[in-house]
Amino acid sequence: MKQNTPVASPTHIDVLIDEMGDEHVSTSVDTPLRKDAFDRSDAEKIEQIAQHFGHIMDILGLDRTDDSLSGTPKRVAKMYVQEIFSGLNPANFPDVKLFENKYQYNQMLVEKNILFYSNCEHHFVPIIGKAHVAYISGGKVIGLSKINRLVQHFAKRPQVQERLTMQITKALQEVLETQDVAVVIDATHLCVSSRGVKDVNSSTVTANFCGQFENEATKNEFLKYIGL
């Protein structure tokens, strides 16, 4: 008589993982990284990721001998390491130079609608959004393009939007040597729109106001500039 293989019931940790993924819980302000995260070279990572991704394709039943699929593992591996997750490596932090605020401009500087692409760390599907950033000079300024580059650096990681907001804020405060920084992010998560609840209309807004931006008048001025 054939016996049915017992099906394991979900454990507490399985349920917790599912809930965290759907609720977008962030476990740390810093991106969780292993201590040996950068012991391998980029070339070694690409080679090993390609092997593992090839195994995933095999398990899915894809025929990797097909011309269209044969190069996919290597392409995915290079994309992970050199492009969409390149912000994990601190060596890729943008070169940001400070300049004296010779104009004596003491009002807020706002850089809005910075388009970015990131990936949700719970399902590894895209987050597409816009970042709005402002700072009030404490005596130093940076080139406008460097603000964009800082946003892109932290976006190029497996992310949670709350963490991304905090990381951009912290980096700008350290680079500009001022606490007077504000960051607002408005983004669409494909883990919400393309799977799960499949809500294609909603977006997620996160904000971090520091220093003078905690003052209601200053905060409201910034929100007016970005149309919120």
Residues annotated as catalytic are: 120-123, 161, 189, 191
Answer yes or no: are the C-beta atoms of 169 and 210 closer than 8 Å: yes
In 10 A of CB 25, how many CB atoms? Answer: 12
Cα 22 to Cα 33: distance, rounded to the nearest angstrom: 22
**Distance of alpha carbon 139 from alpha carbon 222, whole angstroms:** 20
Q: Which tokens sit at 105?
A: 């401009």
- ∠71-72-75 over CA atoms, to 5°? 90
* 67 burial level (CB within 10 Å; 0-12, 13-18, 19+): exposed
DSSP 8: P
